[in-house]
């Protein structure tokens, strides 16, 4: 039973877009790994941008221009 966990920032992703991701990931697992769609579980977890960080800064601070983009 495949289990796929996807984490994204919570920023205006629509229910339709998430449904498309679930559908296409399920189709990929069926096509590539021959996994039955009925056995495939997909979870999309949305994380607030102030709870996601890299390079020592939150995504919220980077997007607001209060912190540099790491590597830039």
Output the six-digit token pair for 5.
Answer: 């966990």
Distance between CA atoms of 46 and 18, rounded to whole angstroms? 10
What is the longest distance spanned by two Cα atoms in the chain? 47
Name the catalytic one among 2, 37, 68, 70.
Answer: 2
Is residue 70 among the annotated active site residues? Answer: no
Q: List, by residue number, the catalytic residues.
A: 2
């Amino acid at each position: 039973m495949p289990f796929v966990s996807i984490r994204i920032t919570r920023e205006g992703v629509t229910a339709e877009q998430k449904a498309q991701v679930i559908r296409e990931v399920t189709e990929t697992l069926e096509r590539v790994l021959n996994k039955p769609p009925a056995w495939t579980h997909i979870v999309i977890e949305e994380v607030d941008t102030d709870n996601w960080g890299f390079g020592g800064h939150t995504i919220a601070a980077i997007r607001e221009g209060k912190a540099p983009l790491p590597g830039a």
